[in-house]
Amino acid sequence: MKIAVGCSLRYQVVAPSASFTFNVLVNTDPQQQIVTESIRTTPEVMTEIATTSKGERVLRADARTGPFELAYAAVVEVDRPAMPALVPADQPGRLPLNILTYTLPSRYCESDRFGPHAWELFGKTDDRAEQVRAICKWVSENIEYAPNSTDGKTSAWDVWQTRKGVCRDYTHVSIALCRALSIPARYVGGYAVGLEPMNFHACFEAYLGGGWRLFDPTDGIAPGLIVAATRGRDAASAGLTTIFGRVVAEPVAVQCALETPAPQSAGIRIE
């Protein structure tokens, strides 16, 4: 299906200059392809798009003192494969090395602290897909959505103890529990249809049956309604913006909706 996404990021540059790295551009991979795309900066500055090894398209820009805005819009064709009915337990040590790294603890996902909890709650089945679905259900039912409960620096273990957080925190706990079961899992940031209130969204991918599968533990949004922009081991390596220089950020505006074709004009028929 086609999804229209966009965002507007505004800043006041208070230093002589500032350098921006934006990870808000849509990724291109076999599961999502860009149909149309628009990138505009105000004032107009030189920009550069670089592609990382994870398929991320990163926009670089430099701005001088004063107001600076990035306006981004795209229409994306999303086609995610269905989840296999059964994913049996595998041999984690035989996974490709670039996948194996996503089974290890990271800054915000201390999976080494979750082992006993993960096995007690989700170790009763060898079906990997069922384990990940059960993790998402548990996280959704046992963590209270509390927008003002975190400062952006909380880890999965912090949230496990407080049982409060936002989509970023739900995602970190889910990743940590997956990794504690030796299931590779990585952080995904991007856009989601139907999100309330609309903003950038965090979810995660688990490596199941030889491929990455998308899960949303916060709102249960279907994978086909999510557009990925950035990926990483956790939020520390998947930031949507990185800024070098003194700036004041203004409120972010994000759009994401199913694209509907423009109605055709009926016209006037003359006999």
Residue 173, number of CB atoms within 10 A of its CB: 27
Separation between Cα atoms, residue 25 and residue 95, nearest integer Å? 29
Do residues 211 and 252 both lie within one domain?
no
Same domain as 72, residue 113: no
**Residue 231 and residue 197 in one domain:** yes
Task: Report DSSP letters for 60-124, one per residue.
Answer: EEEEEEEEEEEEEEEEEEE-PPPPPS------GGGS-HHHHGGGS--SS--GGGSHHHHHHHHTT
Please tell me the distance from the alpha carbon of residue 271 to that of residue 7, in angstroms, as a whole number. 48
Q: When comparing pLDDT for 54 and 119, which is higher? A: 119
Q: Is residue 113 part of a domain?
A: yes
Asked if the structure places residue 87 within a domain, the reply is no
Whether 137 and 204 map to the same domain: the answer is yes
Q: Looking at residue 231, what is its pLDDT?
A: 94
CB within 8 A of 82, min separation 6: which ones? Answer: none
State the CB neighbour count (10 A cutoff) for residue 166. 20
pTM of the model: 0.91
pLDDT, tens only, 225-260: 999 999 999 999 998 999 999 999 999 999 999 986
How far does Cα 237 stand from its chain's mean position? 11
CATH number at residue 254: 2.60.40.2250
Q: For residue 72, is pLDDT > 50?
A: yes
Residues 111 and 144 in one domain: yes
CATH classification at residue 229: 3.10.620.30
List, for residues 161-216, the tens digit of each pLDDT value.
999 999 999 999 999 999 999 999 999 999 999 998 899 999 999 999 888 999 99
Structurally, the chain folds into a number of domains equal to 2
Res 266: pLDDT: 33
- Same-domain check for residues 55 and 147: no
CA–CA distance, 164 with 156 (Å, rounded to integer): 11
Give the separation between CA 220 and CA 95, rounded to whole angstroms.
28
Q: How confident is the model at residue 116, as a pLDDT?
A: 96
Q: Does the residue 270 lie in any domain?
A: no
Say whether both 121 and 188 belong to one domain: yes
Rounded to whole angstroms, the Cα distance separating 20 from 76 reads 24
Same domain, 106 and 185: yes
**Residues 229, 244: one domain?**
no
Tell me how far apart the alpha carbons of residues 204 and 193 are, in angstroms, rounded to a whole number.
16
Which domain covers residue 10, as residue numbers? 2-78+240-258
Over 70: is that where the pLDDT of 49 sits? yes
Specify which residues 56 forms β-bridges with.
Answer: none
Same domain for 134 and 213:
yes
The pair of structure tokens assigned to 242 is 């990185």
Q: Is the pLDDT reported for residue 270 higher than 70?
A: no
Using alpha carbons, select from 237, 256, 255 the residue that is nearest to residue 21.
237
Kindly list the distances between the CA atom of residue 173 and the CA atoms of 82, 160, 167, in Å, as whole numbers in the listed order. Answer: 24, 7, 10
CA-based end-to-end distance of the chain: 39
Q: Tell me, yes or no, whether 151 lies in a domain.
A: yes
> Does any domain span residue 83?
no
Do 59 and 103 belong to one domain? no
Count of Cβ atoms closer than 10 Å to residue 191 Cβ? 27
- Measure CA 119 to chain center: 26
216 and 245 belong to one structural domain: no
Q: Where are the alpha helices (DSSP H) in the chain?
A: 97-100, 115-122, 128-142, 156-162, 167-180
Residue 58 CB coordination number (10 Å): 17
Q: What is the pLDDT of residue 205?
A: 96
